[in-house]
Amino acid sequence: MLRYLIPLAVFIILVIFLAIGLKNDPRYVPSPLIGKPAPDFSLPRLFTPSTTFGPKSLRGKVWILNAWTSDCVGCRQEHPYLLALSKNKLINLIGLDYRDSNTLAIALLKEHGNPYQVVVTDQDGSVGIDYGVYAVPETFIIDKKGIIRFKYIGPLFPDEINKTILPLIKKLNEEVG
């Protein structure tokens, strides 16, 4: 009796579609900024607020911009992996302390270690808006020409770092600046 197999057949087709739907990972939000120049900024450094820092000084280098705050749980989760990542000589990791209290941010980095070469403070969130940050932590990779090549939303775990971040950095470093 074939007609009793119809429900099963319809269900299998549904599962196939759902499986395809799952592959469209909502974390990789197609950022309109990918392939575009990284927005310029000049922001005070966290530890020396009288001096400023901007992406111009990183021209010719591959660098990572990591938007974080001291009160964000996802940032705490990725913190040990960022520390490990910062040991790698190829990595230029810049922190964007997004709408945060400087005191709390400094206290956190002093207590648990500082993975960043430079941390800048984005008190009013305007640079965050330029980069389209909507939920910290977010991570951007910028190439030697200052073009954004990759964006990731959410905490970085070793899986993502080893599978995506490190190979991409290696590849971008081989490109001509």
Partner 1 sequence: MIVEFGQFALILALILALIQAVLPLIGTLINLPNLILVARPAAQAQFLALVISFACLVYAFVIHDFSVAYVANNSNTNLPLLYRVSAVWGAHEGSLLLWALVLSLWTFAVTIFSRQVPPLMLARVVSIMGWISIGFLLFLIITSNPFARLFPVPAQGHDLNPLLQDFGLAIHPPMLYMGYVGLSVAFAFAIAAMWANRLDSAWARWSRPWTNIAWIFLTLGIALGSWWAYYELGWGGWWFWDPVENASFMPWLVATALIHSLAVTDKRSSFKAWTALLAIFAFSLSLLGTFLVRSGVLTSVHAFASDPERGVFILLFLLLVVGGSLTLFAMRAPLIKSHSQFSLLSRETALLLNNIFLVVLAIGILAGTLFPIFTVALNLGKYSVGFPFFNFIFVLLGTPLALLLGFGQLLRWKKDRARQHITKLIPLAISILLAVASVLMMSYFSFYALLGMSLAWWMLIMTITSFMQRFKNQPFSFSSLRKIPPSYYGTHIAHIGVVVFCVGITLTSNYSSKKDVLLKPGESYQMDGYRYKFNGAKQITGPNYRGYEGDVVITKNNTVIANMKPQKRIYFSQQNPMTEAAIDAGFTRDLFVALGEERGQAGAWTLRLYYKPFIRWIWLGAIIMSLGGLVASFDKRYRQKNKRTQTAAEKDRPDGELA
Asked if residue 176 binds partner 1 (CB under 8 A), the reply is no
Q: Which of 129, 135, 133, 128 is nearest to 154 (CA)?
A: 135
The token duo for 90 is 């190829």
Asked if residue 35 binds partner 1 (CB under 8 A), the reply is no
Asked if residue 32 binds partner 1 (CB under 8 A), the reply is no
In angstroms, the CA 3 to CA 102 distance is 68
In whole angstroms, the minimum distance from the beta carbon of 90 to partner 1 comes to 27
Q: Which of 91, 86, 70, 55 is nearest to 137 (CA)?
A: 70
Asked if residue 21 binds partner 1 (CB under 8 A), the reply is yes
In whole angstroms, the minimum distance from the beta carbon of 63 to partner 1 comes to 26
Tell which one of 11, 88, 90, 173 touches partner 1 (CB under 8 A): 11
In angstroms, the CA 46 to CA 123 distance is 10
Q: 128 phi and psi, to 5 degrees? A: -55, -45
Asked if residue 124 binds partner 1 (CB under 8 A), the reply is no
Q: Considering only residues 128 through 157, tell me which ones interact with partner 1, judged by CB under 8 A.
A: none
Tell which one of 14, 84, 90, 129 touches partner 1 (CB under 8 A): 14
155: left (phi over 0), alpha (psi -120 to 50) or beta: beta
Instruction: Write the interaction track for partner 1 spanning residues 42-81; mark x where CB under 8 A is met and - where it is not.
Output: -----------------------------xxx--xx----
Q: Which of 122, 32, 126, 16 is nearest to 69 (CA)?
A: 122
The token duo for 160 is 């993502």
Contacts with partner 1, residue ranges (CB under 8 A): 1, 4-5, 7-8, 11-12, 14-15, 17-22, 24-27, 71-73, 76-77, 99, 111-112
